[in-house]
Structure 1
Amino acid sequence: MLTRNTFAYLNARVRSRRSQVVPEAFFQQALSLSFPEFLRLLSETVYGADLVGDSLADVDRAVTNHLARTVGDLPGLVSGEMRALVSLPLFRADLINLKAILRGKQSNKTPEEIKATLLGGTLKEPLINAMIQAPDAASVAQILQVPGHPLAKALRSAAAGNPDLLALEVALDREFFAASFERAKKLGQSRISAYFALEVDVTNLNTAFKLQALGASLPNLDGYFIAGGRYLGRAVFGRIASGDLAALDALGGTPLAPAMGARTLGELERAVRGIMLARAASGATDSLGGGLVLDYIQRKQWEASRIRLLARRAYFNLPAEAVAKEIA
């Protein structure tokens, strides 16, 4: 089991990096800039060292390289059980990226469109490119086996049954959370366990909204429910999935209460994003535990997503209102 003193070195490094996060004023100012002006402003931030060129692809490359230097290297600063713990939020990013690739294939997005949505995880760019080019989920699983990724087996097993995309995503989520709970418990990190338990609830909420949007009558809603959450039970999940959004009232008095007013998937995603960022931020005081690292990684990934979104607003000359809610 990790002791609190184990985190002293890593958290000292993380605290130094936290002082260099992009200030909120940048995001508000960037909302109204032209693309050349946006590039100039970005070059004045910590991303400037990685910004070479003046195209949209150059911005994406700068974001990818910056995340690799400031977040992706964190597991390499420690070893053993500590490395396993620090890798958890990066594996979560891999999961999100994997689902984005599978969705992108189904909706015929271009490789550039898919890559623009990806977070910094553990997977290197050549592997990401290969998965994007792969013809189907089974082929993606085969590529994922090359580095021995922990999600490769789950994807291969799930893809073999030719499930719908949502069922495939839930199978991957279930595998990730089961492994994460086991690892966090083994390492005695209750704060990390609580964070992922809340994310299970958020994932179930998201799935329930997707199911009710499909309007399909599914024989086994339980097959889409992931165990391990604390505030959203199977019964409420089933009611929401069946279209009874009044069931959201059951979330009152819980950390999920900000999502009670959501009526569309977009509204829900914005609400739960705030919930999870706030929960991660509460770990900033955990200077001798894993919460500080978790908060830093989540903050940097959110920062990168906002920069990519703002770059596209400026490049395509979209009105500020088109993305204002998404970067709030």
Structure 2
Amino acid sequence: MAGSSFAYLNARLRARRSQMVPEAFFQQSIGLSFPDFVRALADTIYGPDLVGEALADVDRAVTSHMQRMVGDLPGLVSGNMREAINLLLLQSDLNNLKTILRGKVAGQSPEEIKGKLVSGTLPEVLLNALLQAPDAASMAQVLQLPTHPLAKALRNAATGNPDPLALEVALDRDFYAFSLEKARRLREPALASYFALQVDALNLTTAFKLHTLGAGGAEGYFVPGGSSVNQALFSRVAAGDFGAMEALNATPLAAASSARTLGELERALRRILLEKAAQGGKDTLGAGLALDYIRRKEWEGARIRLLARRAYFNLPAEAVAKEVA
């Protein structure tokens, strides 16, 4: 039954993958003026969702398109298959919460933050309420969903009034503990393996941030669940011992071992995780293809938003070239 249900879903996903924005669009759009960029976007699959010619209209088009092409996936399957797809969208909820928290710390408006959100399981009315909440504690009061794994995590983390990075790590710990256990219980090895690699990537990113901030007590920021980055390596990198990165050469994170700045690291990790997700395309009887499709669409939407901002603010093409590649 599971195999046949995923066979149906995967057939739909293959059809949707064939309609994704071609790579040529991103390369050709990198130097366009904003009006020309909007016209070019209107000729893609995002065209039906693009109403207006402002930057906010581009953001709304991405959000609307993602809701149609990703948000509907759980409704195409049932039972354990639906749980597996919802698990992937739950990660989008995690990313949205962190984006909102970061935006509030940076003093961004709710509209600015909303333009960076992706399609998850939380309804738009609840996301709008979270955007209007003044701080993490208020957000925890808004997210009163007994069955949502991140509701309790946000409530517990916000109570202690931790620093922004510690608050994100607290959310990450709860999310990955829940997701790794559930992926294994659902017998979805592709998802479990991907989540474990994400934990490794997350720990490396956090270690680089701690080094930049000069923060002590690195051990308190480590997230369990990975397979290549242990706490000893994490602590060494956080202390500035980048030579410790050589230990990654024999792991799936080898391509990130030479990174020495946060930007270099994030670009390398993004490639590694996209390639890992792409391996799910071979998972014909599980949620691996859905993993690949969702991550591809999220990356597609992120690139469109980035190019839109480059064009809108008339930034030089080289300012975003590495991020769009």
Q: Which residue of 2 aligns with 1:299?
A: 296
CA distance in 2, matches of 1:188, 1:124: 28
CA distance in 2, matches of 1:300, 1:271: 19
Measured against aligned partners, the alpha-carbon deviations of 1:192-226 in whole angstroms (never above 9, x if no partner) come to 110111001001111111111111222xx322111
| Aligned equivalent of 1:227, options 224, 227, 238 | 224
Q: Which residue of 1 aligns with 2:74?
A: 75
CA distance in 2, matches of 1:251, 1:57: 41
CA distance in 2, matches of 1:46, 1:122: 23
Measured against aligned partners, the alpha-carbon deviations of 1:228-257 in whole angstroms (never above 9, x if no partner) come to 111111110010111111111110121101
- The reply on whether 1:104 has 2:103 as its aligned counterpart is yes
Alpha-carbon offset, residue 272 of structure 1: 0.4
Give secondary structure in 2 for the equivalent of 1:20: coil
Q: Which residue of 2 aligns with 1:255?
A: 252
Alpha-carbon offset, residue 59 of structure 1: 0.6
Q: Which residue of 1 aligns with 2:274?
A: 277
Q: What count of residue pairs does the alignment treat as equivalent?
A: 325
Higher alpha-carbon deviation: 156-165 or 104-113:
104-113
Question: Map of 1:1-328 to 2, 5 A cutoff?
Answer: 3-146=2-145, 148-218=147-217, 221-328=218-325
Alpha-carbon offset, residue 311 of structure 1: 0.6
Please report the TM-score for the alignment, with normalisation by the length of structure 2: 0.97
Look up the equivalent residue of 2:247 and give its one-letter code.
A
CA distance in 1, matches of 2:295, 2:166: 26
CA distance in 2, matches of 1:41, 1:194: 37
CA distance in 1, matches of 2:147, 2:187: 26
Higher alpha-carbon deviation: 115-124 or 130-139:
115-124
CA distance in 2, matches of 1:142, 1:77: 32
Please report the TM-score for the alignment, with normalisation by the length of structure 1: 0.96
Look up the equivalent residue of 1:300 and give its one-letter code.
K
CA distance in 1, matches of 2:241, 2:113: 33
CA distance in 2, matches of 1:302, 1:320: 19
CA distance in 2, matches of 1:65, 1:100: 18
CA distance in 2, matches of 1:251, 1:146: 39
CA distance in 1, matches of 2:216, 2:177: 28
Alpha-carbon offset, residue 274 of structure 1: 0.5
Look up the equivalent residue of 1:255 and give its one-letter code.
P
Look up the equivalent residue of 2:296 and give its one-letter code.
R
CA distance in 2, matches of 1:121, 1:161: 27
CA distance in 2, matches of 1:44, 1:68: 19
CA distance in 2, matches of 1:82, 1:284: 16
Look up the equivalent residue of 1:132 and give its one-letter code.
L
Higher alpha-carbon deviation: 6-15 or 38-47:
6-15
CA distance in 2, matches of 1:308, 1:276: 20
Note closer, same or farther for the CA distance 1:147–1:73 as it changes in structure 2 (3 Å cut).
farther
Q: Which runs of 5+ in 1 are unaligned?
A: none
Higher alpha-carbon deviation: 13-22 or 108-117:
108-117
Look up the equivalent residue of 1:92 and give its one-letter code.
Q
Alpha-carbon offset, residue 92 of structure 1: 0.7
Measured against aligned partners, the alpha-carbon deviations of 1:134-170 in whole angstroms (never above 9, x if no partner) come to 1111111111225853201011011111111111111
Contact kept? 2:154, 2:171, Cα under 8 Å:
yes
CA distance in 2, matches of 1:215, 1:115: 31
CA distance in 2, matches of 1:307, 1:161: 37
Q: Which runs of 5+ in 2 are unaligned?
A: none
Misfit runs of 4+, over 4 Å = none
CA distance in 2, matches of 1:65, 1:170: 29
Give secondary structure in 1 for the equivalent of 2:149: coil
CA distance in 1, matches of 2:170, 2:145: 20
Give secondary structure in 2 for the equivalent of 1:75: helix
Contact kept? 2:5, 2:77, Cα under 8 Å:
no
Look up the equivalent residue of 2:316 and give its one-letter code.
P
Look up the equivalent residue of 2:267 and give its one-letter code.
R
